[in-house]
Amino acid sequence: MPSLPDMNATDVVDMARRAAEHQAPRDHHIHNEDLKPALFEWLCRMGDSSLILGHRVSEWCGHSPVLEEDIALANIALDLIGHTQMWLGLAGEVEGKGRDADALAYRRDAADFRNFLLVEKQNGDIGSTLMRQFLFDAWHIERLRGLKGSSSERVAEIATKAFKEVSYHVDRSADLVIRLGDGTDESHRRMQKALDSHWTYANEMFTDDGLDEAVAEAGIAMRPSGLKPAWDALVDEVLAEATLTRPQNDFARRGGKTGERHTEHLGHILAEMQFLQRAYPDASW
């Protein structure tokens, strides 16, 4: 705000205009009381999937089969944690109870998490990790592509930023799925096994519920089922090139994004991830 003497300045209108321009985009959705619970939870779904996958991928740091992969996985984990900060940061703002991204990440229990079951699955071998990454990345890129045009400017600006980074993620995971699928007999066998294992978990990413409906009606995000055709096209193309067989099973394991039924693995991730902040709240160094 201009101070009192500034009010006499001739360019006061210009100053006011400039000040308004410099605020974060005004977004009527953020303060819509009716939409608040759904939007908060939807933002947690976005942030929690990034957070848990980022944490899973970071487990490879220092353990990958080759140095370049180690670096790539650490970089991708970092991008995902960066996205988490933006999504959960906005979630906290929408909720309006003074919780920031850290409070949401470190002080919620497993039942409050809204991530897909797919991302909490254990890493397994590098093939299993890369297959999970590809199935997620192929969803992620389509999700973000749609969100760039969200009616919520705050959501759109996060998506625009993240989309650029995720382009590199999907590029890499698709390449590696092809290389390992169409590699040796052993790598092919492992990739097919990973694909079969992840498939019904991946199907959760396209399930719609009432919350998705509310957010879709507000023009914020497309229904998850609407992302399926583009995902199918990319997945089919890559699997064909990788000489892998797409499982014929539309069953979706549910319970992750609604928080109703997480796998037993989530609690273990949280125990490790949250220990320090739970034992020493607000510790900093």
Partner 1 sequence: MATTTLPSTEQVWTWLADVPDPEIPVISVTDLGIVRDVRIEDETVIVAVTPTYSGCPATSIIELDIETALARQGVEKVRIERRLSPSWTTDWIGDEAREKLRQYGIAPPDRAGASSAGTLRASRLGGGELTVACPRCGSTETEKVSQFGSTPCKAAYRCKSCLEPFDYFKCI
Least CB distance to partner 1 at residue 87 (A): 10
Residue 117 or 177 having the CB closest to partner 1: 177
**Among residues 22 and 97, whose Cβ is nearest to partner 1?**
22
Phi, psi of 214 (to 5 degrees): -60, -40
**Residue 266 to residue 201: CA distance in whole angstroms:** 14
CB of 72 to partner 1, least distance (A): 4
Alpha-carbon separation of residue 212 from 181, 206, 215, 226, 238 (angstroms): 34, 11, 5, 11, 28
Name the minimum Å distance from CB 134 to partner 1: 12
Tell me the C-alpha to C-alpha distance, in Å, between residue 141 and each of 5, 11, 13, 146, 169: 50, 44, 42, 9, 9
Shortest gap between Cβ of 82 and partner 1 (angstroms)? 3
Cβ closest to partner 1, residue 25 vs residue 96: 25
Integer Cα distance of 123 and 30 in angstroms: 36
CB of 121 to partner 1, least distance (A): 22
User: Toward partner 1, which CB reaches closer, 141 or 221?
Assistant: 141
Q: Which is nearer to partner 1, 45 or 154 (CB)?
A: 154
Residue number, 29 or 262, with CB nearest to partner 1: 29
Cβ at position 248, least distance to partner 1 in Å: 26
Closest CA to 133 of 179, 99, 174, 88: 174
Closer residue to partner 1, CB minimum distance, 76 or 105 = 76
User: Could you give the CA distance from residue 137 to residue 148 in angstroms, rounded to a whole number?
Assistant: 16
Least distance from partner 1 to the Cβ atom of residue 34, Å: 26
| Residue numbers at the binding site for partner 1 (CB under 8 A) | 1-3, 18-19, 22, 24-25, 68-69, 71-72, 75-76, 78-83, 85-86, 141, 145, 153, 156-158, 160-165, 167-168, 170-172, 174-175
Name which of 79 and 204 has its Cβ closer to partner 1.
79
Alpha-carbon gap, residue 44 to 39, rounded angstroms = 9
Tokens coding 108: 């919620």
Q: What angle do CA 105, 256, 28 make, to 5 degrees?
A: 60
DSSP code, position 245: P
Dihedral sign, CA of 155, 160, 163, 164?
Answer: negative
Minimal distance, residue 150 CB to partner 1, in Å? 12
Report the distance separating Cα 282 and Cα 158, nearest Å. 26
DSSP assignment of 136-196: HHHHHHHHHHHHTT-SSHHHHHHHHHHHHHHHHHHHHHHHHHHHHHTS-HHHHHHHHHHHH
